[in-house]
A and B are shown apart, each in its own frame.
Chain A
Amino acid sequence: MTKKVLIVDDEQDIVETIKFMLETENYECYCAYDGEQGLNKAREIIPDLIILDVMMPVMNGYKVSRLLKFDTRYKDIPILMLTARSQEKDKQLGEETGANEYITKPFDINFVMERVKSYLG
C-alpha cells in the first residue's frame, strides 16, 4: 500500500519540489499552505508522515506539531520539521513540541528523502 505524506509549507515552490521527489519514489502526496490547513488535512487523511514548516501564516508549525502530538490518534505520525530558524533554542523548541526531526533551511532535498525513507521504508 502506498504511504501518504503530508507537506505543509506556505512556500509553494518548496512544496512543489518535495512533492515531485516524493512522487518519483511513489509516495502519495498531500499539500497544505498554512498551519491550520495542514492540521485539518492531517486529521482528515491521517498521513504516514508529515513534513512541516515552522514559520507559516494563521498557525505556526510548533503549534500544529503540539496539537497533533498531544492527541493519541495522531501522536505516532512522524513529523519532520523544516525551518529557516537555525538557532539551538529553536531546535529545542521543535523537539519539545514533539517533532521527530528538525531540518534547517536551506536543506538538501536528497537528505530529506533519506529521512523520509528511514521512517517509511
Chain B
Amino acid sequence: MANILLFSKNKYQFSDVTKFLKQHNVTSFDNINLLLDFIKKNHIDIIIIDTCQMTDTLSVCREIKYSSQADNISLILIVNKSQNNKDFLKYASAFISVPIDEDILIATINSVLLTKNSLDELSENNYALSTSLYRLDVLNKTVTALAGSLDKTELIKIMTEGIEKSLSYQLCYSLVFNNPSDIVLVINSVHSISPRLEEAIKFRAMLSYKDLFNITPFKDDIKIIKNIKRKEFEYDLNVFNFDTALAPINIKNKFFGIIEVFKEKEFKSEDIRWFQTLVKQATFPLQSAVLYEEIKEQNIKLEEMEKKKSEFFSIVSHELRTPLTAIQNAVKILLSGAISAMPDRANIFIKMIERNSSRLLSIIQEWLDSVKAEAGKLDYNFSSAAINPIIESVKQNLSNLADEKNIDFSIETDNNLPSLYIDTKRIEQVVTNLVSNALKYTPNGGKIIVKTKITDSSSIKNIPDINDNFISDKYVVVSVQDTGPGIAKEDFQKVFEKFEQVKGTLSRSVGGTGLGLFIAKKFAKVHNGFLWLESILETGSTFFLAIPVLTNEECFQMQLHHDISNAYSDKKSFALLTLCENKSDEKPYLVNFVNKLDKENIFKKTTESKYFFTETKERLYYSFYDINMNIQIFNFVIQKMIDLAKKDKYITKGKKLYYSKTIFPDDAGDSENLIKKSRKLLKEVIND
C-alpha cells in the first residue's frame, strides 16, 4: 500500500480517483500550501496532479519538485488532450488523459511504484557500496601506514585509527604485551570514562588476556594511555551493555595483544569482518617489528662482541709483545759476546731463538694490523715520498731469505717516477708482504723480479675486479713476479681473504698467518690504489700494486679525507682545522671563502655545526666544527674550499700552505666544549 496525494480543483476527480485506488492510502488537497505542508510531515510515494482546470500547473509542479522532501516522490499528471502547453510534463514520472480509465490509472500507479522501489533499492545498494569503498580506502591507507613503521606502539595506534574510521565505535581498548615489564593498555574513547569504568576495563582486558594466552599480567605493571575525543559526557559501566568485538594478536609467542571494540549500535557481520581484517593486516608489520627488534638486539650484541674481540686481540697482542721484547733483548746480549764468547753450536740455537721470536713478533703485528684495519682504526701517516727507495729497502731486508733458497731476486725500477702521496711504512709493508709471499711459494733456484713503472689508468681499467673510481689518470704500478706454482683463476679473489691459503689448510704449503694479502689489500684501498694478480699455473704469479699519482690539491683532499674518516671511525663528531700562512693581502680570500659558504647555505643543512676563522701575524686559519654532520655535505664543503684555493692560487705546487688536523673530542656532542678544545689545540699548533 502506497501513500498517494491527489491535488485537484475538481471535486469529481477526487471521488473517482479515490474510488479507483481504494487499496492505497489516498489523501486529497486543493490547496498547494496545505499539500506542501503535508509533504513535510509525512512519507509520500506518489502525488497525482489534476492539471485540467489549472492555470499554474508548471509552477505547482516546480514547487512540489523543489521542496526538499519531494526528492523521492513521483509525480503523475492528469492531462487534457486539448491542452496546448504541456511543458510541465517534464516533471512527471507518468501521465494519464481524461477521461480517466480505472485500469490505466492502476497500471500507471503500479508501474511508477515499481520504478520507485527499484530506485530505492539501488540507492541503498549504492550506499552500502560507498561504505565499502570508504572502508577499503581506510584499509588501504592503514596498510600503507602500517608498512611505514617498525615501532610496535605506533603500529597498534595506526591499527586503532583504522578501526575507528571504518567502524565508528564508542570505545576501544588494546592491551599489548612487549615484555613482562612493558604492558600497555591504550583506551580510545569518544567520551570521557569514569574511574570506575577505567578500572573495570583494566580487569576485563586482563581477564581476556589470561583466557587467550594463559598469561596473567600484574595489575600494577600496566601502563595506561587514554585518548578521549570529546568530553561531552562520561561513560560508565553501561558501556559493557554495548555490542563488542574482540580480536587477539599473537606473534611468535613473543608479542601478545588484544583489542576490543564497543559500539552502542549492533555490529553488522561485515563490521566484524572489517575489524578482523584490519587486525590481521596489522599482524604482519607487527611480526616484522618483532623480528626487527630481535635483529636490532642481536646486532647490538654482535657489535659488542666484535668490539670485545678487537679489544681482546689488541690486549693480547700487546701483552705478548712485552715478553717477546725481553727475549729478543736477552738473545741480543748473548749474541753480542758481552758475557762470553759462545761456542758455535750454542750460537746456532741462540740465533734460532732470535729468528723465531722476530717471526712471532711479526705474526702478532700482522694480527693486530688486520684487526685494526677491519675496524678502520689504523692510523696512517701520509706524506709525499718516492717509491723506489721503498723497493730497495724491501730488497735489502729480504735478500737473505732469497739467498737461503738460492732464489734470483732482482729489481727493475723506472727512475723517472713522480713522488707519491703515501704512508711509506704501510706501502713498505705491502711490498714486503708481496715479496715474502713470492719467496715462500717460489721453489729453490727460482726467480723473483720486482718492477716499478708508471702507467695510464686506461691500461688498468680492464682488469677484472677493479671497478672502483679512478681518481687519477696516472698510476705507479709495482709488480712482484715469481716462478712459484701459480694460482688457479677461481682462487684469485680468495687469496685476498682472511686466513686463506689457496691449497687448503691441511697441505699447508708455507708458514704465515694468512693475513698478509688481506692487510695488503686494505692498505692499497686506503691509498685509493688497487691490488690484483695475474697467474699461470706451473709457471708463476705476478702481483700488482697500483698507487695513484696525485696533484698537490688531490693530496690535500686525500689528507682531509683521511682525517675525516679517522674521525668518523672513532667518534661521531669532530672538528677540522685548516691553517694557512698569512699575508696581509690574502685576508680577503678567507673572508670571501667563508661568506661564500654562508651564501650557499651549507651550514643551515646541518643541525649543529660551527665554524670560525681568525688570524695571527703569520697565519690565517679556518676551522670547521661538526656535530654529527652528514659526510656528503662535509665533502662538499671541502671541495668548495679546494676549488676556491685553486682559483686563488692559494695552494701552489711544491709549497705546503695548509695544515690540517683532526681533533677528537672526548665528549662528543657538546659543541661549545669542542670549540674551546679546538681553540686550545689551535694555539698549540700555531706556537709550533
Report Cα–Cα, A59/B506, bound state, in Å.
Answer: 9
Smallest CB-CB separation from A61: which chain B residue? Answer: B506
Whether B356 pairs with A55 at a CB distance below 8 angstroms is: no
The distance in angstroms between the C-alpha atoms of A58 and B503, with both chains bound, is 10
Residue of B nearest to A53 (CB): B508
The verdict on B129 contacting chain A, using a C-beta distance below 8 Å, is: no
Measured between beta carbons, the chain B residues less than 8 angstroms from A55 are: 505-508
A60: B residues at CB distance < 8 A: 506-508
Q: Residue-by-residue, is B598-612 near A (CB-CB < 8 Å gives 1, otherwise 0)? A: 000000000000000
Complex interface residues of chain B between 503 and 549 (CB less than 8 A to chain A): 505-511
Assess the A57–B508 pair: CB atoms within 8 A.
yes
Complex contacts, B352 vs chain A, CB 8 Å: 13, 16-17
B640 contacts partner chain A, Cβ-Cβ < 8 Å: no
Are A13 and B355 in contact, CB atoms less than 8 angstroms apart? yes
Interface check B233, CB cutoff 8 A: no
Determine whether the beta carbon of B348 is less than 8 Å from that of A57.
no
Expressed in whole angstroms, the minimum distance between the Cβ of A101 and any Cβ of chain B is 20
B12 within 8 A of A: no
> Quick one: CB contact mask for B353-387 with A, threshold 8 Å, 1 for yes?
00110000000000000000000000000000000
A56 at the interface (CB under 8 A from B): yes
| Interface: A76 (CB within 8 A) | no
In the bound assembly, the distance between CA atoms of A54 and B508 in angstroms comes to 9
B349 A58 Cβ-Cβ under 8 A? no
How would you classify the secondary structure of chain B's contact residues: helix, strand, loop or mixed? loop
- A102 at interface by CB-CB < 8 Å: no
User: Which residues of chain B come closer than 8 Å to A35, judged between CB atoms?
Assistant: 507
Chain A residues touching B, majority SS:
loop
Contacts of B355 in A (CB 8 A): 13
Q: Are B507 and A17 in contact (CB under 8 A)?
A: no
A13 to B354 CA separation, bound complex (whole angstroms): 11
Specify the chain A residue showing the minimal Cβ separation from B443: A57
A58 to B349, CA, bound (A): 28
CB distance from A19 to the nearest CB of B (A): 11
Which residues does chain A contribute within 8 Å of B508, judged by CB atoms?
10, 55-57, 60
Q: Is the CB of A59 within 8 A of B507?
A: yes
* Residues of A bordering B, CB below 8 Å: 10-11, 13, 16-17, 20, 35, 54-60, 62
Smallest CB-CB A-B distances: 9 pairs: A55-B508, A57-B509, A60-B507, A60-B506, A13-B352, A13-B356, A55-B506, A57-B510, A16-B352
Additional A-B contact list (20), CB under 8 Å, known A10-B511, A56-B508, A62-B506: A10-B508, A10-B510, A13-B352, A13-B355, A13-B356, A16-B348, A16-B352, A17-B349, A20-B349, A35-B507, A54-B506, A55-B506, A55-B508, A56-B507, A57-B507, A57-B508, A57-B510, A58-B507, A59-B507, A60-B508
A-B contact pairs, 15 of them (CB 8 A): A10-B508, A10-B510, A11-B511, A13-B352, A13-B355, A16-B348, A16-B352, A20-B349, A55-B505, A55-B506, A55-B508, A57-B509, A57-B510, A59-B507, A60-B507
